[in-house]
Amino acid sequence: MKQLYPPYKIENAQELTRLWVENMVAGFNLCPFAAPEINRDSVRYAIVTQSSMEEAVRGFLEEILLIQENLEEKISTTLVIFPIGWEDFEDFIELLMLAEDCMEQSGLEGLFQLASFHPHYCFDGVEVKDISNWTNRAPFPVLHIIREGQMSRVLSSYKKAEEIPERNIELMKNLGREGLIERFPPFADYINMYQ
């Protein structure tokens, strides 16, 4: 049975991000610990609608505090979604860097780490059109708060963990743009920008 998707609109950012995680990230095992946490219902999806840097960082820090105050069984990981005002990838990278600085200043380095996703994600030194960028492209800008201890436990039992990024890039190449759209139809709403 084909998955039904809500329209690609800001008000659907949380639902579309959840579906992206379930169908792309877990569905293709892009992240080795996604599926078990989805099954445990311990993944939190938080929306931060503030578009100024200061307010967006404040929203992010509130989510850091929340995950820190909860047991891993309740909130194992949080995807903080920024659907408004962060369409420019370079602006989003500034937000990521400031969030990382705040974590470091708060003494949270070693407890949490961040992964970042964006509709226009582009790795440094890689062409915008390169399919490898799609390993980090999501329907909306996202800062993913990951518990370091949990990640270490998962990776210690994962054979050849260092090969995960290369495996994911190879998967994107094999899928191609049409395969990506087939797997996650909302990608069609912006994928043509990079044809």
Query: What per-residue confidence (pLDDT) applies to 53?
Result: 96
12-39 burial, b at 16+ Cβ within 10 Å, e below that, comes to bbbebbebbbbbbbbbbebbebbeebbe
41 located within any domain: yes
CA distance 103 to 112: 8
Residue with tokens 């992206």: 20
**What's the one-letter identity of residue 141?**
P
25 located within any domain: yes
pTM above 0.75, yes or no: yes
Query: What per-residue confidence (pLDDT) applies to 123?
Result: 94
161 located within any domain: yes
4 located within any domain: no
Query: What per-residue confidence (pLDDT) applies to 154?
Result: 65
Query: What per-residue confidence (pLDDT) applies to 1?
Result: 37
* Closest-CA residue to 150 (of 45, 55, 78): 78
Query: What per-residue confidence (pLDDT) applies to 151?
Result: 72
Domain limits at 132? Answer: 10-194
CA distance 25 to 76: 16
Please list the pLDDT of the chain residue by residue as tens digits (195 residues). 345 788 888 899 999 999 999 999 998 888 878 888 899 999 999 999 988 999 999 999 999 999 999 999 999 999 999 999 999 999 999 999 999 999 999 888 888 999 999 999 999 999 988 999 999 999 999 999 999 877 767 666 667 777 888 999 999 999 998 999 899 988 887 766 544
Q: Number of folded domains in the chain? A: 1
5 located within any domain: no
52 located within any domain: yes
Tokens of residue 38, six digits: 């989805």
